Amino acid sequence: MAGPVTERFDLTDRVAVVTGGGRGIGRAIALGLADAGATVVPTARSEDETERVAETIRDRGGRALAVTADLRERAEIDALFERTVEEFGGVDTVVNNAGANPDTALGRPERVEEGGYELVLDVNLRGAFRCATAAAEQLRERGGSVVNVASVGGLVGLPRQHPYVASKHGLVGLTKSMAIDWAPEVRVNAVAPGYVSTSLTEGIEENETLRESILDRTPLERIADPEEVAGPVVFLASDAASFVTGSVLTVDGGWTAQ
């Protein structure tokens, strides 16, 4: 599904780094960027997952390099971008997609564990900030862009997901403030997906009551495929969005419209 949508935008000669690019939404974004002509560096903590994505891109005739990195470690992030520049000559786009929401961060506020809260903030918010700033010089030199993958949880409250919601609200705010400071050289935008069919949402598919409650609130009456998030990300990374910065594009089938 990514190909027919994302091929409408030309990212030839662009180099994109996609965090959390080994599976789910990140995988779809990496493939979508590649289908639009970009050279893609999918990164995650899993070497096997990112290498499979890179192999898929190369099998389709694109260029890709899998790099493992822990976004909680600045040294590993610096090494990620240094390797990308060495291999491909620069960085044009950073897609901050990596996220965490472990069981230790779920539940009523008083039951959230400190370690779970810190992990979510460290990956979802601090990790995005570290990646963007590590690439700042390259992005300014090349007129690049940053696309942060936030969530509807960055726009409204969600029950029992307090660290996640806090991190995504923070990411939306970071998007807007960085867009101001880095203009006019670098554009910074975000997408805010609603419920998307991935391995992380399998529980929703299995819980008929929860699934129906989501569909009842969603005007488009379904849960999104990962490729439906990839298309908006590719758009924001492309010249078609050349006058778009500081924006948050909601991709939720109308869930937040009600």
Q: Which residues are catalytically annotated?
A: 164
Evaluate whether 36 touches 63 at the Cβ level (below 8 Å).
no
Residues contacting 177, CB < 8 A, separation 6+ = none
Contacts of 145 (CB under 8 A, 6+ apart): 92, 93, 94, 139, 186, 187, 188, 189, 236, 237, 241
Which pair of structure tokens corresponds to residue 213? Answer: 């409650």
How many whole angstroms from its chain centre is CA 257?
22
Q: Is-contact 38 209, C-beta < 8 A?
A: no
Taking alpha carbons only, the member of 216, 79, 105, 78 closest to residue 168 is 105
Q: With contact defined as beta carbons under 8 Å apart, do 135 and 82 qualify? A: no
| CA separation for the pair 45, 15 (Å, rounded) | 20
